[in-house]
Chains A and B, each alone.
Chain A
Amino acid sequence: MNKILIYIKGLTKKYQRNKEDIVALDNINIKFEIGKFYAVMGHSGSGKSTLINIIGLIETATSGEYYLNGKNISDFNENEKANIRAKYFGFIFQDYNLDPNLKAYENVMLPMLIDKKVKNKDAKEKAIKLLVSLDLTHRINHYPKELSGGEQQRVAIARALANNPEIILADEPTGNLDKKNEQKIFSDLKKLSESGKCVIVVSHSLEIKEYADVIFTLEDGTIRW
C-alpha cells in the first residue's frame, strides 16, 4: 500500500437553493494514495466537481474532516489553504483557464512566482523545461489563442506541475478535446502517477478506464465502487 496523502472522513456538502437544502455530497469517506491514478466518474450533478473542488481547497465542505499528509486541515483559514494549494496541488481545468495575455511559458511560471525568493530567470528556465517535456518546444512563446485545444491543455498540465506538487487534480481535462488529444492527455496524466504523483481526474469519458488505477462513481452524492 502506498502512502496515504489525502484522507476524507464524513464529508458532506449542502447548498441552499430556493430555501431548500440540496445535498451535493453525503458522508463521503475516501483515501487517496501517492503514485495512483484515480478516476471519479458519474453523471452530471452527481457531485464529482464538488468533490474535486473540496479536495483542492477551492470549495469548503459543510461538515467532515480532511486530512492531508496526516494533518487535519479542515479548519484552516484562507491563507493556510492558499499555502497548501501552492505546495501540494496542481489544478487542470476543463476550459484550460490559461491567462490569455501571457505566453505559454509565462502561464507555466505563474505558480512558481508565488514564492518571493524565486527569481524570474530561474522560473522561466524551469517553465521552458516543463513545456519541452510535454512536446511543446515549438509553442513556448505562443499565446493561448494561438494554440490548439490539446496544446492548451498540455500547457495547463505544465502549469499544474510548476511547483512539483504531490497531487494533480483535473476536472474534465479532456471535455473539449477530440479522441486523439484525449488519449494524449490521459497518457500524460498516467505518466505523472507512475512518477509518484497522486492524480485525481473527474471525467465522463469511458476512455479513462484504460488509464486509471482506481475508478469510483459518484451517484447522488455518495460513492459507488
Chain B
Amino acid sequence: MNFVNAMKYATIKIFRNHKNFYFMLVIGIFSLILLMIFTYQKYMTDIHEKYLNTQLFYREISVMPSDITSDVDALFYEPIRSIPHVLDIYDSRYGIFYTESPTFKEKIYDGVITLKYGSNATFPKIVEGNIFESNATGVAICSKNFYPSSYNTKDIIGSNDIFLDGEELIGKTFKTESKIYKRVDGDIIENGKYLKEFKIIGVFDNTVSMDTPNTCYVSGGDIEDIYKHTMLEVNSDVYFPYTVLVDDKNNLGEVGNAINTMGYQADVTSIIDTEYISKLRIISIVIIIIAIISLLVTIFVYLKKNALDNSQEIGLLKAIGYKKWDIIKINMAKMIEMILIPYLLSIFIFEIIFFLIELLFKNYFLYYGYSLNHLIDAYFYTLEIIFILPIIINFIFIVKLTKKKTIVLIKEVI
C-alpha cells in the first residue's frame, strides 16, 4: 500500500472506531497538562534567572566606612572603586527614593514615582532617547510603559489601557513633590514639600529590567538633593552603609574580601533564594512522572482493549496478501495520527488559553516586567513524551502480532 492510501486508510479506521476517541481525548488532555507544566516551569525558571540577572540587589555589597562618624572622602570611594569588578559605589540612602508627581496625578494615577540611582553602572538598556552623565541634574530616564502610580489591583488585574507611552513623554518635564519631615520635640512631623523638576530624556523597557513601571532613573546627586531636603533630620542619628555594585554576582566574594582587606566591613546582603525554584522543579518532575505513568497505563489499556480488533485486522490483511511491513506501516500511521491530532488540538487550546491570559493579565505582566513569550521548548518536550512512548510500545505490540501465524490471528476472529 502506498503512503497516501495508508494514511487515508489509517484516518478512516481512526475516526470510525469510537474507542479511539477516548484514547485521543486522553492524549489531548495529557498534552495540554504537559504543555502547561513545561511552560510554567520554564517560565518561572526564566523569570527567576532574569530577576537574578537584572536586579542590582544581587550584585551589591554593603560597606561601612571604618570611621562612621566622619564624612567619607576620596580615601574611601576611590580605592574601593579601583577594586577589580567594582562598577560603582554610592551612599545607600540615595539608591532609591519614593516621591509623588503632581504632573501625573490625575485620573487613575496617584502620581507615586520611584526614583532610582542612575549611573553607567545601573542604567537599564535604553530603547529610545539618551542616558545622562553621573553629575547631571534635572534629567530622568523613565519606563517605556509608564504607570505613574502605586500598585492598584483594580487597574493591574484588568485589560484596560493604563500605561502611558514613555516614548511620547521624551522631552517632557515633570515635577516631584516630596514631603519634608522635621523633628519637633522628639516627634517627626510633616513640614511642607520639596519640589524638583525633571526632564525625561530617555526611556527603557521595564519588562527587560524588571523595574516597576513607575520607575525613573535620575542622578545620585538629584536623589541626594531631595533626601537632604526631606529626610535628613529624620535619620540624623542613623548610619547608613554604602552600596558597592559589582559586575557579576559570582564576583561578590572576591570584592568583599578585597574590601575587608582594606579595613572596611563588607557584607554581602543578598541571599539568592533557590528554594522556590527547586520546589517548583521537584513538583514539575513529579507531575511529569505521574503523567508518563498514566500515559503508559492508558496505552496498555488501549492496546489490550483493542487487541482483538487489532488481531482481527492484521489476520485479515495477512490473509488477503499484505506483507508484514505494510501492516506495521498502516498501524504505525494510525498511532501517529491518533497522537498528532490531539497534540495539535491541545496546542490550539493552549494557544487560546495563552491568548486569554495575555489579554486578561497584560497589565499585570507589564507591571512586574514579566514578558509572556511562547516557549518553544515546551512544545518539543511535550511531543517527545506523548509521541515516543506510545510509538515504541505500539511498534513492539504490532510487530509481535504480525509475527503470529496468519491462521492463529484468523482463528482469534472466528
Contact = CB atoms under 8 A, between A and B. Distances in A.
B75 interface: no
Interface in A152-192: 159, 163
Given A78-B324, A79-B324, A111-B320, A95 B1 contact: no
Nearest to B323: A82
Nearest to A116: B2
B5 A82 contact: no
A82 B407 contact: no
Contact of B323 (A79, A93, A101, A163): A79
Interface string B1-22: 1101100110011001100000
Nearest to B9: A113
Interface in A61-109: 78-79, 82-87, 89, 91, 93-95, 97, 99, 101-102, 106
Contacts, number: 81
B414 A86 contact: no
A114 B12 contact: no
A86 B17 CA distance: 27
A76 to B, nearest CB: 13
B224 interface: no
B407 A53 contact: yes
Contacts of A59: 405-407
A82 B321 contact: yes
Given A53-B407, A58-B407, A82 B12 contact: no
B326 interface: yes
Given A85-B318, A85-B319, A117-B2, 14 more contacts: A53-B407, A58-B319, A82-B318, A82-B321, A86-B320, A97-B319, A97-B413, A99-B313, A101-B12, A101-B13, A118-B2, A120-B5, A159-B320, A163-B321
Interface of A: 53, 56, 58-60, 78-79, 82-87, 89, 91, 93-95, 97, 99, 101-102, 106, 110-111, 113-114, 116-118, 120, 159, 163
12 contacts: A82-B323, A84-B321, A85-B318, A85-B320, A85-B321, A93-B414, A94-B414, A97-B413, A102-B16, A111-B320, A113-B9, A116-B2
